[in-house]
Amino acid sequence: MDDDGSSSPASYIRLVQHLIEKCICYNMNKEECMETLEKHANIKPVITSTVWKELEKENREFFETYKKDRGEESSTQKNPSQEPTISKSSDDDGDHDD
């Protein structure tokens, strides 16, 4: 059943890339992603870090924007409008009139 090379290094890298993309959907940074994949998918942090770096090289503009949106480059510019996105969802708990 393994005739298409599904256990090849290339398919493993594609798997790691897919999992990194999922982490990005959850707004994780590289370190959070490395911890998560190690804990939940048994992927060594060095593998995640290497694939992440390659993705950064191939998608430089995306990652620059992603880091800015996450506030990771705040040492050069401060963004006062930056606030946690979780706070809004807990405000609209139910339908209640005052």
- Tell me how crowded residue 91 is: count the other CB atoms within 10 A of its CB: 6
pLDDT tens for the chain, 98 residues: list them.
444 555 799 999 999 999 999 999 999 999 999 999 999 999 999 999 999 999 999 999 999 999 998 887 644 344 434 333 333 334 444 444 54
Residue 30 near residue 52 (C-beta atoms within 8 A): yes
User: And the tokens for 3?
Assistant: 């005739």
Q: What is the pLDDT of residues 46-60, one digit of tens each?
A: 999 999 999 999 999
Non-local CB neighbours of 24 within 8 Å, separated by 6+ positions: 33, 66
pLDDT the model gives residue 70? 87
pTM above 0.85, yes or no: no
Domain ranges of the chain: 9-73
pLDDT the model gives residue 81? 42
Residue 49 near residue 34 (C-beta atoms within 8 A): yes
